[in-house]
A and B are shown apart, each in its own frame.
Chain A
Amino acid sequence: MNTRSIFVGGLVTALVALSSGAAAQSNASDTPAFYLTGTCTNCHGTQGRSAGAMPSLAGLSQSYLVEQMKQFREGKRPATIMHEIARGYSDEQAALIAEYFARQSPVR
């Protein structure tokens, strides 16, 4: 299975789980998720491997990451900044990002 089919596979899962409206207009199946993850990696590290106090995201499960984004967005998980940033992402984007980081090998 090549990388592209993994992306598409992940996206299909996301689309089944979420409303199809936003997904249909963005034609996201042609856009590798890693472009979007570039908005996370300045703080959480390239491929989700942080060099500082922010947590590494590499290898965390997709469902955990999606749930954290939801909790930040809803103010249920306390944060200094992530509650502000999480509100800038759609459910669909959160799912794409989570799918990517879940696939990276975890930091030991």
Chain B
Amino acid sequence: MMQRHAFTRRDMLRFATASTTLSLLSACAGAGPVLKPVGKVVVVGGGFGGATAAKHLRMWSGGRVAVTLVEPSWQFVSCPMSNLVVGGSKTLADITVGYQGLKRWGVNVVHDTVSSIDADKHRVHLASGTSWSYDRLVVSPGVDFLYDQVQGMTADASTVVPHAWKAGGQTVLLRRQLEAMPDGGVVVMSIPLAPYRCPPGPYERACQIAWYLKTRKAKGKLIVLDANPQVTSKGPLFTRAWKESYADLLDYRPNAKVTEVDVPGKTFVLELGDRVKGDVLNLIPPMRAADIARASHLVTANQRWCEVDWITMESAAVKDVHVLGDATLSAPGMPKSGHMANQHAKAAAAAIIEIFSGRRPEPPTMVNTCYSFVDDHRAIHVSSVHRYDEGKKTLVPVAGAGGVSIPDGERWAIEGSYASGWAQTIWADMLA
């Protein structure tokens, strides 16, 4: 049963006071007597999905939805832009943002780990022993890795063979390994079969590592082992960038699926037995929805992803639980991206507020934009717009909308400035 909490004049005054500097908030508070939505939401995960959901639930409800965000990290470190830290043109500090902004919106930010979700009792239990009840739960847990699909590889071994596919310590580790490598060394990276988090991300990383080698270690080589038959996103653009800028040092090999890692021997073993040795290895492992999603019975597709209702983002399996971001079974043509998770979050926030208001949520429109840097200042993009199809009961790309950058490297510098602006603005949209 959904718990409803009486919304009193005193609450309204409190919210109004808290929001005097926030014009939209004050404007919405004026709509309070009409909408009367009051409810309690717990958000699990403070990344692109969770942080955006927490902020927009507060902002769009005029402060009338109580929001608790559970996130283990003290600061948000962005995966988008983290390849530039690997390449050396950005630092980790450049891609790190605190959670203070969410607190200013009145989000109760709890730095803890969820140990279990009791969906029947509508309660979330945390590692510290505390627990929080909810009317609606938002789970935006990201991904965890399927190390059992790569023989010889373990979570512990990622301190030797980094994934750097969750930004933070892993990003810095890969950067340090590149810095420590002698000129003339070989870097080998492995890309898993799609779907995985951030389709163009591995190819952007290849550009960043190649740019570092070209500018600092010109005798070095990069071998890219891609399990996919071709570059999975912006293929012609990446191929052009590689040919124009990195032809001498980048060796791209499609249909090269890594099934084993000899960690001490610094060697990848391919499906057909070929061995590729490197001085620095970067394994982007196959992945699935994060552990907490699986433990909470939210994973319904291929034992990997969470199916959702694309109007509300509510789980197909567990009532009153909304799942966002990379953990979802993607709708057709929809990438697993930070931008997309932001859009999922807004759809969920809108739906939850509408449900609390006793109304039926409207089908959302969503937009995706992914920029990838091909060196330290030039970027290429892919965009798409997604609308709900009543017949197919899912979001589908709008025909004729979306596209990619024009294939002219001279034009990519202006896109580089938009790419940096994109990062600054979306971080603010979720956290400030």
B381 and A31 form a contact (CB under 8 A): no
Q: How far is the CB of B369 from chain A (nearest CB, A)?
A: 7
Pick the residue among B359, B385, B403, B418 that contacts A52 (CB under 8 A).
Answer: B418
B365 to chain A: closest residue by CB: A39
> Is A4 at the interface (CB under 8 A from chain B)?
yes
**Given the complex of chains A and B, what is the CA–CA distance between A46 and B104 in angstroms?**
15
> Is B332 at the interface (CB under 8 A from chain A)?
no
B-side contacts of A3, CB under 8 Å: 27-28, 30-31
A-B residue pair count with CB separations less than 8 angstroms: 130
Q: A42-B343, A53-B417 are in contact. Are A84 and B401 (CB under 8 A)?
A: yes
A35 and B414 form a contact (CB under 8 A): no
Q: A2-B30, A3-B27, A81-B381 are in contact. Are A39 and B366 (CB under 8 A)?
A: yes
> Is B415 at the interface (CB under 8 A from chain A)?
yes
Q: A85-B385, A87-B400 are in contact. Are A35 and B421 (CB under 8 A)?
A: no
Pick the residue among B30, B55, B384, B429 that contacts A42 (CB under 8 A).
Answer: B429
> Is A54 at the interface (CB under 8 A from chain B)?
yes
A54 and B418 form a contact (CB under 8 A): yes
**Given the complex of chains A and B, what is the CA–CA distance between A80 and B379 in angstroms?**
11
Pick the residue among A52, A53, A88 that contacts B365 (CB under 8 A).
Answer: A88
A88 and B367 form a contact (CB under 8 A): yes
**Given the complex of chains A and B, what is the CA–CA distance between A47 and B55 in angstroms?**
13
**Given the complex of chains A and B, what is the CA–CA distance between A44 and B417 in angstroms?**
14
Give the total of A residues in contact with B, Cβ under 8 Å: 38
A47 to chain B: closest residue by CB: B24
**Given the complex of chains A and B, what is the CA–CA distance between A39 and B344 in angstroms?**
10
> Is B426 at the interface (CB under 8 A from chain A)?
yes
A-side contacts of B429, CB under 8 Å: 41-42, 45-46
> Is A61 at the interface (CB under 8 A from chain B)?
no
Q: Which of A33-89 contact B (CB under 8 A)?
A: 34-36, 38-47, 50-54, 80-81, 84-89
B60 and A80 form a contact (CB under 8 A): no
Pick the residue among A4, A81, A84 that contacts B31 (CB under 8 A).
Answer: A4
Against A, the Cβ 8 Å flags (1 = close, 0 = not) of B56-71 are: 1001100000000000
Q: How far is the CB of B416 from chain A (nearest CB, A)?
A: 9
Q: A2-B31, A51-B421, A89-B365 are in contact. Are A84 and B402 (CB under 8 A)?
A: yes
**Given the complex of chains A and B, what is the CA–CA distance between A7 and B59 in angstroms?**
17
> Is B317 at the interface (CB under 8 A from chain A)?
no
B-side contacts of A44, CB under 8 Å: 425
B-side contacts of A2, CB under 8 Å: 30-31, 34
Q: How far is the CB of A12 from chain B (nearest CB, A)?
A: 17
Q: How far is the CB of A75 from chain B (nearest CB, A)?
A: 12
Q: A3-B30, A39-B343, A42-B425 are in contact. Are A34 and B415 (CB under 8 A)?
A: no
B404 to chain A: closest residue by CB: A84
B385 and A89 form a contact (CB under 8 A): yes
> Is A23 at the interface (CB under 8 A from chain B)?
no
**Given the complex of chains A and B, what is the CA–CA distance between A47 and B21 in angstroms?**
13
**Given the complex of chains A and B, what is the CA–CA distance between A27 and B360 in angstroms?**
11
A-side contacts of B405, CB under 8 Å: 80
Q: How far is the CB of A38 from chain B (nearest CB, A)?
A: 4
A38 and B346 form a contact (CB under 8 A): yes
Q: Which of B399-432 contact A (CB under 8 A)?
A: 400-403, 405, 411, 414-415, 417-418, 420-429, 432
13 contacts between A and B (CB under 8 A): A26-B362, A38-B350, A42-B339, A42-B425, A45-B425, A45-B428, A45-B429, A52-B423, A54-B422, A84-B402, A85-B385, A88-B386, A89-B385
Q: Knowing that A38-B56, A88-B401 are A-B contacts, what are 8 other residue pairs whose CB atoms are under 8 Å apart, sorted by A's residue number?
A: A3-B28, A42-B422, A46-B55, A51-B425, A80-B415, A81-B403, A85-B367, A87-B385
